[in-house]
Amino acid sequence: LQPNSASGSGTLEHDSQSLFLRCPPNEPIPGPLPLGVAVIDSSVKLYGVIFPHVAHKHRYQMLQHFNECIHQAKGSRQQAVQMNVFTAVLCALKSLAELKASLGPDDVKKAAFSLIMDAMSSNNPILRCAAGEALGRMAQVVGDSKFIAEMAQHSFDKLKSARDVVSRTGHSLALGCLHRYVGGMGSNQHLNTSVSILLALAQDFNSPVVQVWALHALALIADSGGPMYRSYVEPTLSLVLQLLLSVPPSSVDVHQCLGKCLSALITSIGPELQGNSSAVGTARLYCLVCCAVMQAHPDSLVQAEAIACLQQLHMFAPRHLNLSSLVPHLCENLTSSHLLLRRAAVSCLRQLATREACDVSALALSLVGTRKDAKTSSHIAETGISSTILFGMLDTEVDAQLLSDLRDTIDSLLQSLAIANLGRWLALLKDVLSASA
């Protein structure tokens, strides 16, 4: 648990009404937090709602007050105050963006910028993340190209001169968030410098932490850059493959970020992956090789990233994906002990079943010979994968997204296959209903 987190402290004794009130969607369970924590959380949310509606002079006063509170606090108390302050500021900036309102005059901008920059060099990685996010949100609501250029240049200068891990990671994320929230068009003049610096930082083998943050920032830029990032796809893709082959498997965080970066690159290339030119063919081959390397990684997080990337490749270039090896691989991961792997496998199967249900069902039969249970093998042979595994998972899984993908996958298989094998499917559904009676 994080030092300043209230995770794990929820219990019914804090609020007896939770016994009969409906739990909000995606709300962590167990329930209500201690009253002191709940009051602070509600205050933070309320601050975000009120901030866009107060006068500019009051915004300036509140930001200055936040700065003073942080500087007056010491040690762990200071970090707790900063956490609450940045959560409130992020809520406020998000509300401003939703209302398409401006932050205010120069004094308000400078007060906010000063507050953010102080946290950019914090030893706490959560605060650095919050500062980077706040800088991007601030650029979004300010909308002033000159001010955005100054923010970007400040990070450029820091990254070129700083040698400590804290500054390099914080300002790497700052660049990624700037591009994410300003958009590819708004930050195009800084794109070349940002990508060049981050590509260099991603090759810092002496600091895996710097590599992780730089790769994450690259993924943010590639994801938001759209066509503007197209000219940087080749060098970034080449770097991803190089790092996958050279970074030791024990650096799981680096490999996971490489997977997310690859996913962003596939999205950036998009439908062009179907092309027949040599450049597109090379990029497609690089993507497939990267996926194969990640599939062979011993960690489930990296394997899940590989499946997600293959799913995206199927979306943009389905005829270039080898389903005969992919579908059995997905079926094997349906029984994995790792939730992320099961979730990734079902999500990919859902997409495959929507387009190619017959092929998915037929290829799933390749697992029949490897199963020791004759009854299970018989059921797979008759009705494909849905009867033996997917229906069973509906009874055991509790993850909301996973359950939704399971139902969608079964629906797609039924719509495509039930007419040809109506009797078998009716018998299967009867068995399912009988078992649940």
Question: Is the residue at 418 inside a domain?
Answer: yes
Question: Is the residue at 170 inside a domain?
Answer: no
Side chain identity at residue 35, one-letter code: L
Nearest-10 Cα torsion for 115, 199, 264, 289 = -150
Q: Both tokens of residue 363? A: 């290829």
- Give the count of beta carbons closer than 10 Å to the beta carbon of residue 26: 7
Query: pLDDT 10s digit of each residue in the chain, 437 long?
Result: 344 556 556 777 777 777 777 777 666 555 677 888 888 989 999 999 999 999 999 999 999 999 999 999 888 888 889 999 999 999 999 999 999 999 989 999 999 999 999 889 889 999 999 999 999 999 999 988 888 888 899 999 999 888 899 999 999 999 999 999 987 655 667 889 999 999 999 999 999 999 999 999 999 999 988 788 888 999 999 999 999 999 999 999 999 999 999 999 999 999 999 988 999 999 999 999 999 999 999 999 999 999 999 999 999 999 999 998 999 899 889 989 999 999 999 999 999 999 888 888 878 766 655 554 444 444 444 445 545 688 889 889 988 899 999 999 989 888 888 787 788 778 877 877 887 66
Rg of the chain over all Cα atoms, to the nearest angstrom: 25
Question: Is the residue at 4 inside a domain?
Answer: no
Distance from chain centroid for Cα 89: 22
Question: Is the residue at 360 inside a domain?
Answer: yes
Task: Quote the CA–CA distance of 184 and 6 in Å, as a whole number.
Answer: 37
Whether residue 31 contacts residue 15, with contact meaning beta carbons closer than 8 Å, is answered with yes
How long is the chain? 437
Nearest-10 Cα torsion for 264, 124, 84, 96 = -30
Question: Is the residue at 427 inside a domain?
Answer: yes
Alpha helices in 296-396 (DSSP H): 300-316, 323-333, 339-364, 374-383, 385, 391-396
Task: Quote the CA–CA distance of 382 and 378 in Å, as a whole number.
Answer: 6
Question: Is the residue at 24 inside a domain?
Answer: no
> Which residues constitute the domain of residue 434?
352-437
Question: Is the residue at 340 inside a domain?
Answer: no
Alpha helices in 183-251 (DSSP H): 188-201, 208-225, 233-246
At 344 the pLDDT is 97
At 26 the pLDDT is 66
Question: Is the residue at 385 inside a domain?
Answer: yes
The residue assigned the tokens 């003073």 is 68
CA nearest 346: which of 359, 330, 362?
A: 330
Side chain identity at residue 8, one-letter code: G
Task: Quote the CA–CA distance of 366 and 372 in Å, as a whole number.
Answer: 13
At 365 the pLDDT is 67
Q: How many domains does the chain have?
A: 1
Task: Quote the CA–CA distance of 381 and 110 in Å, as a whole number.
Answer: 68
